[in-house]
Amino acid sequence: MSATRIGIVGCGGRMGQTLVQTVLDTEGATLGGGTEHHESPLIGQPLKNPATGDILDLIISDDAEALFKSCDAVIDFTCPTATVLHADYAAKYGTAHVIGTTGLEKQDEATLQKAARQTPIVYAPNMSMGVNLLFYLTQQVAHILDEDFDIEIVEMHHKHKVDAPSGTALGLGRAAAAGRGVKLDDVADKVRDGITGARKRGDIGFATLRGGNVVGDHTVIFAADNERIELTHKAGDRAIFARGAVRAALWAAGQKAGLYSMFDVLGLPQA
């Protein structure tokens, strides 16, 4: 069988470079190309092996549509505006689209659902295999414990992260809400400031921390009187997200059209 051609949009950034390296290091995958924003100084430059500096036979371009046309799968850790546009390209050419972009609004997700009628799309707030296991465990624990256990989600990321709470934290909130049979929008408490009054029973709280170069720490706390359960995942390197994304790309390239999650990729039971 021929190797799966995987393209990387946003290939010049920290995550993009990690994805490039992971594709190069993964058996059964071959790098199909990379793109950057049209104002990037990298446009027209050759792609290089991030580990060795060796020049690859690929040129960085700003033509994302051409990348989708020429690849079997494209990995996308960009921004909501770009991701929505990329989903249209994926649908047009039947290219598998693996999306790790966070901060998408409901209307953006509706666009992904529409595109997924034409091509396989894997969309997840976090591509790490460990974090997706945390999603699963959070849902199960929330289902077992009643509202005597307050749920709080604490996340910390590097000082450059622009969205809050993180997409992963919101994913954990959705998992906890699903376990309790409620909608997160109805029970989420994302901001506390001043005299807030007592905590509302059944709410799912969020706390956001930013600082330094923290890749990503997430803890789900189930707190009742006199006892507390904590589920924690700490990311030490972006490579864990890249490994999951490349695994998802290899998996998605052989699937029929549809909107999938990392639960599908990993074979975990669905909510």
Residues in the chain: 271
Q: Do residues 225 and 149 lie in contact, with contact meaning Cβ atoms separated by under 8 Å? A: no
Q: Is 106 a catalytic residue?
A: no
Tokens encoding 241: 């997200």
Residue of 267, 255, 237, 49 lying closest to 128 (CA atoms): 237
Phi, psi of 135 (to 5 degrees): -55, -50
CB atoms within 10 A of CB 259: 19
Backbone angles phi, psi at 243, to 5 degrees: -60, -45
Determine if the peptide bond prior to 165 is cis (ω within 30°).
Answer: yes
Nearest to 250 by CA among 35, 78, 6, 20: 6
**Burial environment of residue 43 by CB neighbours within 10 A (0 to 12, 13 to 18, 19 or more):** middle
Pick the catalytic residue from 37, 92, 161, 190. 161
How far apart are alpha carbons 21 and 19 in whole angstroms? Answer: 5
Which of 86, 157, 218, 233 is the catalytic position?
A: 157
CB 226 within 8 A of CB 149: no
Q: Is 114 a catalytic residue?
A: no
Q: Are 113 and 164 in contact (CB under 8 A)?
A: no
Q: Which residues carry out catalysis?
A: 157, 161
